[in-house]
Amino acid sequence: MEISEVRQILEALLFVSERPLSLKELKELIKTDYTDTDNIENILNELKEESADLNKPYEIKFVADGWTFATKPQYSPWIKKLLKEKYVLKLSPSALETLAIIAYKQPIMRAEIDEVRGVESSGVIDTLLDRKLIKVTGRKEALGKPLLYGTTQDFLKHFGLAHISELPLIEDMSKDVQESDNNPEPELLFDGRKFR
């Protein structure tokens, strides 16, 4: 089988799949017709680079440990109109705060989350579990064997991350906050005039 045909088959598989496909899955799907499965990752990376360079509204991305087609971010306003925000995941500030704590400190116990937040978090944790953004990753070897929480593949997919290591560093975010505090955006009066 020619590489050009393999490229088209890979694109077709990614196009019809409702979820990111792992390299292992793609190799398994194509191995009977294409024996050089070690080359598939190179082909996918080439397709990714080409799709990013093309003047098209979509690209091939590696997200949540899998390959998928995705629309480019600049088209999200129109896509949201089409979907009427049906699939937009809305989280409360407390849920986002809890999710950030779990993402950066995983695996983490509920008591540790409560300590960082300063309030009880079981309701928010239940919501995040229901939305499949977090999961129970195990139990801590401590008195009572409390549950440990971590993020899921859906978390990575929702935030467009290939791996949890792609989260911005806390130190970088602290610098950004300090810079924005030192250079506050001008506030607007009701008629649009700026004041400080």
Per-run averaged pLDDT (10 residues), the chain, 196 residues? 90 94 92 80 93 88 92 88 67 93 96 95 94 95 94 90 88 62 48 40
Cα angle, residue 184 at apex, residues 183 and 188 outer, rounded to 5°: 145
According to DSSP, the β-strands at 108-109 and 66-71 are unpaired
The architecture that CATH gives domain 93-169 is Orthogonal Bundle (1.10)
3-75 and 93-169 in the same fold: yes
- The answer for 141, left when phi > 0, alpha when psi is -120 to 50, beta otherwise, is beta
What CA–CA distance (Å, rounded) separates 55 from 69? 15
Question: What does the pLDDT read at residue 81?
Answer: 83
What CA–CA distance (Å, rounded) separates 124 from 149? 13
Question: What does the pLDDT read at residue 183?
Answer: 54
Question: What does the pLDDT read at residue 194?
Answer: 40
Domain ranges for the chain, please list them.
3-75, 93-169
Distance of CA 97 to the CA centre of its chain: 16
Residues 1 and 37 sit within 8 Å (Cβ to Cβ): no
Q: Is the pTM above the cut of 0.85?
A: no
The architecture that CATH gives domain 3-75 is Orthogonal Bundle (1.10)
Question: What does the pLDDT read at residue 52?
Answer: 85
Question: What does the pLDDT read at residue 191?
Answer: 40
What CA–CA distance (Å, rounded) separates 97 from 76? 24
Positive/negative CA dihedral, 164, 165, 166, 168: positive
